[in-house]
Amino acid sequence: MAVLTLDRWNLSIGDGQPLVVIAGLNVLEDLSMAIEVGRHLKAVTADLGLPYVFKASFDKANRSSITSYRGPGLEKGLQMLAAVKAELNVPICTDLHEVDQADPVAAVADIVQIPAFLCRQTDLVVATARATAAAGGLLHVKKGQFLAPWDCRAIVDKIGDATGGKAITILCERGVSFGYNNLVVDMLGIGRMKDLGVPVTIDATHAVQLPGADPRGNSVATGGRREGVPVIARAAVASGADGVFLEFHPDPDRALCDGPSALPISEAAGLLAQLKAIRSAVGGA
């Protein structure tokens, strides 16, 4: 039975627990939008009785083009995330990309995220694990698009070694790349990752990406199939996922980053109600 708890928020994730909703914006655009989206999602999840974590990136370091919007950066981005946390009284999830970001990010984020492409970067994983454990947070590691589910054992072991055995790891499924602008999610892999003794989430947003295939971007931007987000989310929760990672936007077609994969904020209530019902049907709280 794998259950992790954020004591300061009375939030638990894992077997037999309510479905955790990690949701917000792909990347911070401005503070008012972040608060608007976070407030809406907090209200929706409160109505459904689901634990909520606001997420947004301060820097999208892995972009197809050097001209793509990346976000406000570390210093301003963490200030914005801290403001959202204070205004809405919700836990925060954000990702990082460099070793020297570990301590400042862990000081603000309750769930610190390792991006998929960086999940095997030993120095980054070790530094982030130590900083997150010291701050009392949890570590959300996205499975690389190049890894089989059982290959995540090395990641879990590495984090355990770095923290002296302290359990802080949540693994995240986000699909496997076979090239040709596509990602495929193996739902059987969710159970295989849970067999490693950790909670598992589904990143249904990034699982529908079409890398390099946004027709508006001349093959230098990522496309997406947002209509597939609910399909993957529902299937993953039915397959045992303990949490969902979702990105919304007030106007996805005008989002500054990965709009084709984001859902309109107006669709949050309906989708999350479905996911809660599925979680209950398969044995979750």
Mean pLDDT of the chain: 92
10 Å CB burial of residue 75 (0-12, 13-18, 19+) is exposed
Is residue 26 annotated as part of the catalytic site, yes or no? yes
What is d(CA 23, CA 72) in angstroms, rounded to the nearest whole number? 19
Query: Of residues 26, 55, 242, 276, which has the active-site annotation?
Result: 26
What are 119's two structure tokens?
A: 């999940």
Q: Which residues contact 283 (CB under 8 A, 6 or more apart)?
A: 16
What is d(CA 128, CA 230) in angstroms, rounded to the nearest whole number? 31
pLDDT for 227 equals 87
Alpha carbon distance, N-terminus to C-terminus of the chain = 14
Contact between 122 and 159 under an 8 Å Cβ cutoff? The reply is no
10 Å CB burial of residue 122 (0-12, 13-18, 19+) is exposed
Query: Of residues 60, 142, 143, 158, which has the active-site annotation?
Result: 60
Query: Of residues 55, 59, 258, 276, which has the active-site annotation?
Result: 258
Question: What pTM was estimated for this model as a whole?
Answer: 0.93
pLDDT-derived band of residue 67, with 50, 70 and 90 as boundaries?
low
For the domain with range 3-281, which CATH number is right: 3.20.20.70, 3.50.50.60, 3.90.960.10, 1.10.3330.10?
Answer: 3.20.20.70
Between 257 and 35, whose confidence is greater? Answer: 35
Is residue 7 annotated as part of the catalytic site, yes or no? no
Is residue 55 annotated as part of the catalytic site, yes or no? no
Inform me whether the pLDDT recorded for 199 exceeds 90.
yes
